[in-house]
Amino acid sequence: MTEFADLLVLGAGPAGAEAALAADHAGLRVVLLDEAPAAGGQVWRAPRTHAARTRSDADQTRGRDLRGRLDASGVQVRTGTQVWDAVPGFCLSCVSERGATRFQAPRLVLATGATERVRPFAGWTTPGVFGLAAATAMMKAEGRLAGRNIIVAGQGPLLIAVAAKACAMGVPPRAIVDLNGRGDWLSAVSGFAAAPGLLLTGLKWMARIVAARVPILHGADIVRALGDDTLDAVIVRDRASGQETRLAADTLYVGNGLTPADEIHRLLGAAQVADALRGGYRTLCDADRRSSVPGLYVAGDGAGVHGAFPSAAQGRIAGLAAAHDHGALSAADFARASRHARGQLKRLMRFADASCRLMQFPEDSLQDIRGDTVICRCEDVTVDQIRAASGDGACDLNQLKHFTRLGMGPCQGRMCALNAAGVLRRLAVDAGRDLRLTPRAPVRPVEMAQLIGTFAYSDIPVPKPAPL
Amino acid sequence: MTFITHDLAVIGGGIHGASVALFAARAGMDVVLLDKGALAREASGTNAGTLTMQMTRAALIPYALKAHDMWVRAPEWLGHDVGVVACDGLSLAFTEAEEQLLAERAAARRTAGAPIRLVSSAEATRIEPGLNPSLRMASHCTIDGYANAYLTGVAYRRALLEAEVALREYTPVEGLDPTGTGFSVRTRTGVVAARQVVLTGGVWIEPMLAWLGIHLPIRTLVNQLSVTERTTPVMRTVVGIASGLLSLKQFPHGTVVIGGGWQGTGSRDTGHHTTTHESTVGNARLAVHAIPALRATRLVRSWTGFEAETADALPAVGPVPGVPGAWVSGSVHSGYTSAPYIAHCLVQAILGQVPDMPLFPIDRLLVQDMPAATDFTKNGTEH
């Protein structure tokens, strides 16, 4: 079954929802797709449990507002829908509990959000080690946080947000292990001041952490998680002195920034450029969010990490641009309708840059990872195996995949490809070589039963027999 | 720098070129192997690795049998592991028409030397308990199996370096000029000189032969494959279907590779190829129909690779007419399976010996511009 529209929007977070609403308002038939059960994305995720609903905060209010506006609009919202393939033109192949469906439209906005990065360390795959993003997802959807004796580690605003919210839930972390130093935070303050409301939120988080007397270890990172079936402790290293400390913990939340979830951007062949500040690779686009692929617009963190508010503004511009290109909005109306979003985007850029600098992945630290550290957790490929493959002549990521199976598991390299590239790049690989895996469908593993549905043998369009 | 004239320049580092280079070097020749990318990164590294007789053209069965024996003994002559597993193979018939097709094809292949016999549905399910019991008949071959194709590159790379082949990866060849006593191979980074040259560029042998003024039309097939996540054992044999449009096997680590030559889209000129929705779903349905337990798995990845085909769907292996010292090898149809043995025969010819089995000279394909062959919807082989 194929559903047709004027515009498809993939991802119902701040960017995608705003794109869909803007295009709908301009008169386009819009279908908004998301794999989650409700719109809101990661940041404005809908609460699933009573406990989560009773804990109201600003993000929840924004999410509720967003879902309310979508409900009141003409946007066809298809949640619980997983896209597994995309071709220009545009046709999205999807599965959901209702089975396989396809969506087709001449224009597509990609607003796919970001994936968290974790700098691998010995034992990072131990049960009890989670991402900071997983912590926020759990708190927003379920109103709870797993663990009693927790440590939060990593970098950027998310680190402070998770620590503060853990305090509010009555599980103050035993420690915050912050890769950044105090100086890094101080340099960010002027950028943060560009968004006073957000700066105030950050200060409230800090106040809560201070009030709970949570120790903050600045300029430090996790070098080892100890424990077999459960986490017992972590080893924290002070980056300046090299001194290591053991901290007991049953749960570690760790994250080293975000990277664009750009599998579909790449599958569709959108031009990209390396941009470490934006999380790895940024999808090129013009000021109206048009990518290099005709009819394809990109918005939000999926095209380069900026954060929720710039994403919403980008989404609105993308939706309006699609409406304009569709002929539903004159140039003057487009300019008028997008003026506010463009102004917002400009004002928020300094805030976004300051956040992104704090979140920027510590590429240099990949060179001192222990050889037995697992890089690809799906296929258990270690740093030593990557080094051996390099010695055997592997000099790009597709070769590394063939030599070691790295990236062949269910996550398709989403967790490991950038880290493996970082390790490989340090082994005398041409600086200019593209160290990315060729994008492949299915974008995420797809349930065979949903993919194939029910069918009669005689309906399978088996091609003509091969010559004998 | 010293200007070396190699005995042999092999252009194209897939399974054919790598095997020719390896055997020629072992026979004492000074060999250089060039590829536009890394070794075995196109069809030779991305095919399903099936080492089967039941998808091989009858005329090629004698070569495939010899090659199957070589694959099983790969550790002896290659020296490195490509994960070869020898096992039984079954080709299935679910309809009356497929029964008839199966019987005809099994007979032709048996005549050509493959140990294939027809078995009842009950016997087939004894051999492979995972089969859909609604099958009507199967053909059973005791010589079947598969390699782990993605290990081809690393295994051959090690072997070639040990054999002291000069490896020139990431070195696209831009042209080829006969010099009277040999050839100048033009690359972006300079000229490589060789007394003889072998063109083993897969689908790109057509533009390569054009360097020598030869027009050999090569059709580009875009074969598609999918793989499941690791799963509990669901099958132990290589399973195909009468038409040849299915190849299924479960690797020791638990993934099941689904293939059979369903077509994706792509172009030899851009080098880009990709899967189609229709082929992914169609091939998956056929797979689940054959092995119902696959319905409970997840599909993790699909991919594509080019396969070359001549007008008569038989190999292009032999001397390049009118260009002494130039050879070509490609479009072998059961290309991955037969490669080591075809290379063995070709190297014998290059060394001036009589090959153990005849080559497939391309003169037959050059007489005139061939009309399109009657049936190009092939699929199969193991690609």
* Mean pLDDT over each residue of chain B, to the nearest integer: 94
On the question of pLDDT at B34 being above 60, the answer is yes
Closest among A172, A167, A145 to A49, alpha carbons compared: A145
Tell me how close the Cα of B171 comes to any Cα of chain A, in angstroms: 14
The model's confidence at residue B351, banded by pLDDT at 50, 70 and 90, is very high
Give the pLDDT score at B367: 58
Contact B169 A393 (CB under 8 A): yes
The residue of chain B with its CA nearest to that of A430 is: B170
Inform me whether the C-beta atom of residue B108 falls under 8 Å from chain A C-beta atoms: yes
Nearest CA-CA distance, residue B270 and chain A, Å: 13
Closest Cα in chain A, distance from residue B159 (Å): 11
From the CA of A454, how many Å to the nearest CA of chain B?
9
Residue in A442, A461, A468 closest to B301 by CB:
A442
Please give the interface size between A and B, counted as residue pairs whose CB atoms are below 8 Å apart: 143
Beta-bridge partner residues of B240: B91, B247
How would you label B362-380 residue by residue, b for 16+ Cβ within 10 Å and e otherwise?
beebbeeeeeeeeeeebbb
pLDDT at residue A117 greater than cutoff 60: yes
ipTM of the complex: 0.93
A1: pLDDT strictly greater than 90: no
The amino acid at A288? D
- Which residues pair with residue B238 across a beta bridge? B89
List pLDDT tens digits, range B168-204: 999 999 999 999 999 999 999 999 999 999 999 999 9
- Quick one: three-class SS letters along A376-434? ECCCCEEHHHHHHHHHCCCCCHHHHHHHHCCCCCCCCCCCCHHHHHHHHHCCCCCCCCC
CATH number for the domain spanning B178: value is 3.50.50.60
Domains and CATH numbers, chain A: 2-115+259-356 (3.50.50.60), 118-256 (3.50.50.60), 364-425 (1.10.10.1100)
Percent of chain B residues topping a pLDDT of 70: 95
Q: Name the burial class of residue B343, with classes exposed (0-12), middle (13-18) and buried (19+) by CB atoms within 10 angstroms of its CB.
A: buried
Give the chain B residue whose CA is nearest to the CA of A468: B57
B306, part of any domain: no
User: Each residue of B300-315: b (16+ CB within 10 Å) or e?
Assistant: bbbbbbbbbbbbbbbb
Encoding tokens for residue B103?
A: 């019987």
Asked whether the predicted pLDDT for residue B231 surpasses 70, the reply is: yes
- Chain B environment of A466 (Cβ under 8 Å): 55, 243-245, 261, 377-381
Q: How many domains, in total, are found in chain B?
A: 1
Domain containing B158 equals: 5-45+151-217+312-366
pLDDT of B221: 96
Residue B133: is the preceding peptide bond cis (ω within 30°)? Answer: no
**Ordered DSSP codes for A54-82:** HS--HHHHHHHHHHHHHHHSS-EEE-S-E
How high is the pLDDT of residue B382?
38
Within a domain: B39:
yes
Has residue B255 been placed in a domain? no
Residue B373 in this model has a pLDDT that exceeds 50 = no
Q: Which two tokens stand for residue A140?
A: 């927003």
- Of A457, A458, A468, nearest to B108 by CB-CB distance is A468
Query: What pLDDT does B368 receive?
Result: 54
Token digits of residue B321: 């007419």
Nearest residue on chain A to B149, alpha-carbon basis: A402
Q: How confident is the model at residue B70 (pLDDT cuts 50, 70, 90)?
A: very high
In a domain, B227, yes or no: no
For residue B260, is it within any domain? no
The 10s digit of each residue's pLDDT in B117-153 is 999 999 999 999 999 999 999 999 999 999 999 999 9
pLDDT in tens, A54-99: 877 888 899 999 999 999 999 999 999 999 999 999 999 999 988 8
Searching chain A, which residue's CA lies closest to the CA of residue B298? A447
pLDDT of residue A322: 98
pLDDT for position B378? 40
* Residue from A266, A402, A414 whose CB has the most chain B CBs within 10 Å, to mutate: A402
Q: Kindly state whether residue B28 falls inside one of the protein's structural domains.
A: yes
Residue B254 lies in a domain: no
Q: Is the model more confident about A272 or about A228?
A: A272
Mean pLDDT of chain A: 95
Q: Is residue B225 a part of any domain in this protein?
A: no
Q: What is the arithmetic mean of pLDDT over A378-403?
A: 95
Q: Do B282 and A395 touch (CB under 8 A)?
A: no
